[in-house]
A and B are shown apart, each in its own frame.
Chain A
Amino acid sequence: MSSLAATLSDSVVITKRNLIKVKRVPDLIVFATLSPIMFVLLFRYVFGGAIGGLPPGVSYAEFLLPGIFAQTIVLGSTTTGASIAEDLQKGLIDRFRSLPMARSAVLVGRTVADLGLNAISIAVMALTGLVVGWRIHSSVPEAIAGFAVLLLFAYAISWFMALVGLLVRVPEVVNNASFMVIFPLTFLANTFVPLESLPSVLRTFAEWNPVSAVVQAARDVFGNTSPLAPTPEVWSLQNPVLYTLIWVGVILAVFVPLSVRRFGSAASR
């Protein structure tokens, strides 16, 4: 077997292993889908009436859903870190490292399985969104591209979280630490409110925040904007798809090699 084929085959074995856990612990999938539904309903009906400054011709449901998509899948990718820390604690990483398997396979298998979970979350949210008034106004290929950009970004974040999990090694701490980063990142953005409402320093941060670009990209591609809306002033939001893809490329280029290297010397104690 060539080394690429061997790496792929090992990764498939590990992905399968991770998905079996989802099957055996249905709570995982229940909560992974309930919390997005809860978010959609809360924001739509509790904050929806109070949040102003929306572009003319866009309902809050249309504005909100791409934001909820982005926040939920970014949160979803934090499970990568906690799961890897758990495998380390339980000695499974030791077992894997003592096998003649591809070094990257455990991390590839993990991130791919988490991508699968995120895809399920996004499907559930999209259905909930349709119920509360969100619509896709573009073509099918564009809609698919929109979901793909969202999932791609989440996949890149998974690799960052993999490194965090390998370094921190305690699942609970990984979770708490990642909330400290993920919450500001997803709230200091155009996720739930229009950027125009933010004070200037925060606004600059939010304009260049990759999460804003992901959300803007999804809104553009799904057609959840209005021709009456003002054109964004910054390059990142004028070219949100390109800007997002640059971030994805940079994150993967940095964190895939770092995580794989760290995995090679990972120890539970």
Chain B
Amino acid sequence: MHATGKSAGELSVGGPSVRGMTDAIVVEGLVKRYGATTALDGVDLTVAEGSVLGLLGPNGAGKTTVVRTLATLLAPDAGRVEVLGLDVGRGADQVRAAIGLTGQYAAVDEYLTGYENLEMVGRLYRLGKAESRRRAGELLERFDLTDAANRPAKTYSGGMRRRLDIAASLINRPRVLFLDEPTTGLDPRSRLAMWEFIAELADGGTTILLTTQYLEEADRLADRMVVIDRGRVIARGTADELKAQVGGQRLELTVTDAAVLPGMVERLRPLAVDEPNVGDQGRRLSLPVSGGAEVLVEALRRLDGGTAQIVDVGLRRPDLDDVFLALTGRAAEEVAADDPTAEPATTGGAR
């Protein structure tokens, strides 16, 4: 993780200077309903000017709805939603002039060339002809698209389209940038390149709200995180704070055959300090434990005679996946489904 938050006070990008830790984004009690469905049920979050917020959550949690509301595309049913001190409803045009949005799908016109796409967006930001052309050229260079500048975007790869899309959202030098799953569907190399671009922008002082399903991505790019599930915030803080919520070491175990895992879970349960998580189609077990190497030795002793199926075993510090699973409770449900006789870990120790 890089430290963009530190420089927030000194840097000001486009517009009046901002002193101290002003919040560039303020969301309070945001509610959004679609008919009988409540997509957002009272979301609160703030993003300090110049910092990066990672908005995490499973599919359908409401991440995109938050972004669309902030980007003036959706009207909230209740709550306060402000960008740079402007209400997204009443001040929509001023908000639009100051933000950039990159949605989940690269919104580029595939019949236009890369250059024409950027020039068009510049003109629609009312930058004027000359400035639009200059910015288009600059951004094509910065995003490594100069060679493809005069080819229709139809011919671009997924990674190139995504870069062009981000370039389009930067034409107006936005002070606040919304990135909705910017690396979904990208190959690993393009993803790394995208991370570098985002980190550079953050270092330049742009306030960024980033949604993602990849915890590694949030861990790497975001200063702070907000985890939402079913339209509600279920956790917030820095990566370290979130990890601290989950606790200490985890014993991890991967087996070749999912059928043997429930038995192992039962034998290891006395060592657990919290509910175990089973993932990877029932082949991977993650068990919160306290203590060090002796726990690992004890675990292997308990599994004595049944270790032939184990392909990987070890202790590790929790990562955001553990945080996520612990918070959303999805993994606990999976364990219950796999093993209907499972008892709570606290009583298991008495056996």
Q: From B117, which residue of chain A is reached at the shortest CB distance?
A: A17
Question: Does B96 contact A99, Cβ atoms closer than 8 Å?
Answer: yes
Task: Report how far A56 CA is from B73 CA in the complex, Å.
Answer: 60
B105 touches which of A1, A10, A90, A101 (Cβ 8 Å):
A90
Inter-chain contact B96/A98, CB cutoff 8 Å: yes
By a CB distance below 8 angstroms, the chain A residues around B104 are 91
Q: How far is the CB of A11 from chain B (nearest CB, A)?
A: 11
When distances are taken between beta carbons in the complex, the residues of chain B under 8 Å from A20 are 111-112, 116
Known contacts A6-B126, A265-B75; A94/B116 CB under 8 A: no
Q: Is the CB of B74 within 8 A of A100?
A: no
Query: What sequence of 0s and 1s flags, for each residue 85-106 of chain B, a beta carbon within 8 Å of any chain A beta carbon?
Result: 0000000011011010101111
A99-B73 Cα distance, complex, nearest whole Å: 10
Residue B152 interfacial (CB < 8 Å): yes
B96 contacts A21, CB within 8 Å? Answer: no
CB closest residue in chain A, given B74? A267
Choose from B94, B99, B106, B112 the contact partner of A98 (Cβ within 8 Å).
B99
B124 interface neighbour in A91, A94, A101, A265, Cβ under 8 Å: A101
Contact, CB under 8 Å: A100 / B93? yes
Bound form: Cα–Cα A151–B144 in Å: 45
Residues of B within 8 A of A10 (CB): 123-124
From B72, B94, B110, B116, A97 is in contact (CB under 8 Å) with: B72
A99 contact set on B, CB distance < 8 A: 96, 121, 124-125
How many angstroms between the C-alpha atoms of A13 and B119 in the bound complex?
Answer: 10
| Chain A residue with the shortest CB-CB distance to B102 | A95
Q: Using A24-B111, A24-B152, A99-B96 as known contacts, say yes or no to A13 and B73 having CB atoms under 8 A apart.
A: no
Contact of B109 among A1, A92, A98, A265 (CB under 8 A): A92
A94 to B96, CA, bound (A): 12
CB neighbours of B121 from chain A (8 A) = 95, 99
CB neighbours of B68 from chain A (8 A)? 94, 267
Instruction: Tell whether A98 pairs with B124 under 8 Å between CB atoms, given A17-B109, A21-B111, A91-B106.
Output: no
With A100-B93, A100-B96 already in contact, the answer to whether A94 and B120 are too (CB < 8 A) is no
Q: How far is the CB of B75 from chain A (nearest CB, A)?
A: 7
Residue of A nearest to B96 (CB): A100
CB pair B101 A98 closer than 8 Å: yes
Say whether A187 faces chain B, with CB atoms less than 8 Å apart: no
Q: Flag if A100 contacts B125 (CB, 8 Å).
A: yes
A 50-78 contacts with B by CB, 8 A: none
Is A140 interfacial (CB-CB < 8 Å)? no
Q: Which interface residue of B72, B103, B124, B168 has the most chain A CB atoms within 10 A? A: B124
* Interface flag for A96 (CB, 8 Å): yes
Return B202 CB to nearest CB of chain A, in Å. Answer: 20
Q: How far is the CB of A216 from chain B (nearest CB, A)?
A: 39
Chain B residue, CB-CB nearest to A6? B126
Q: Using known A-B contacts A10-B124, A13-B123, A91-B103, determine if residue A97 contacts B109 with beta carbons closer than 8 Å.
A: no
- Which residues of A are found within 8 Å of B108, using beta-carbon distances? 92
Q: Known: A13-B120, A20-B112, A267-B74. Contact between A94 and B125, CB under 8 A? A: no
Chain B interface residue count, Cβ-Cβ cutoff 8 angstroms: 31
Residues of chain B within 8 A (CB-CB) of A92 are 107-109
Q: Would B103 and A17 count as touching, CB distance under 8 A?
A: no
Where chain A touches its partner, the secondary structure class is: helix
Within 8 Å of chain A (Cβ to Cβ): is B8? no
Residues of A within 8 A of B226 (CB): none
**Contact status B96-A17, CB under 8 Å:** no
B101 CB contact (under 8 Å) in A17, A95, A105: A95
A46 adjacent to chain B (CB < 8 Å): no
CB distance from B64 to the nearest CB of A (A): 9
> In chain A, what residue has the closest Cβ to B112?
A20
Say if the beta carbon of A25 comes within 8 Å of chain B. yes
CB-based contact A97/B73 at 8 Å: yes
Interface positions, chain A 90-127, Cβ under 8 Å from B, are 90-92, 94-101, 105
**Most B CB atoms within 10 A — which of A10, A17, A96, A98?**
A98
Q: B106, A1: Cβ atoms under 8 Å?
A: no
Q: Which residue of chain B lies nearest to A17 when distances are taken between CB atoms in the complex?
A: B120
From the candidates A24, A90, A105, name the one contacting B107 in the complex (CB within 8 A).
A90
B71 within 8 A of A: yes
Query: Please, how many angstroms separate the alpha-carbon atoms of A10 and B96 in the complex?
Result: 15
| Chain A residues with CB under 8 A of B116 | 17, 20
Closest residue of chain B to A24, judged by CB?
B111
* A1–B126 touching, CB < 8 Å: yes
Contact A267 B111 (CB under 8 A): no
Proximity bits, A1-45, B CB within 8 Å = 1, else 0: 100001001100100110011001100000000000000000000
Contact with A along B53-87 (1 / 0, CB 8 A): 00000000000000010011111000000000000
CA distance A92 to B120 in the complex (A): 12
Chain A residues within CB distance 8 Å of chain B: 1, 6, 9-10, 13, 16-17, 20-21, 24-25, 90-92, 94-101, 105, 265, 267
Q: Given A9-B123, A100-B125, 9 other A-B contacts at CB below 8 A?
A: A21-B111, A94-B73, A94-B107, A98-B96, A98-B101, A99-B121, A99-B124, A100-B93, A101-B126
What are 15 of the A-B contact pairs (CB < 8 Å)? A13-B123, A13-B124, A20-B111, A20-B116, A21-B112, A92-B107, A92-B109, A95-B101, A95-B103, A99-B124, A100-B96, A100-B126, A101-B126, A265-B75, A267-B68
Residues of chain B having any CB pair with chain A under 8 Å = 68, 71-75, 93-94, 96-97, 99, 101, 103-112, 116, 120-121, 123-126, 152, 168
Closest 3 CB pairs of A and B: A91-B107, A95-B107, A100-B96
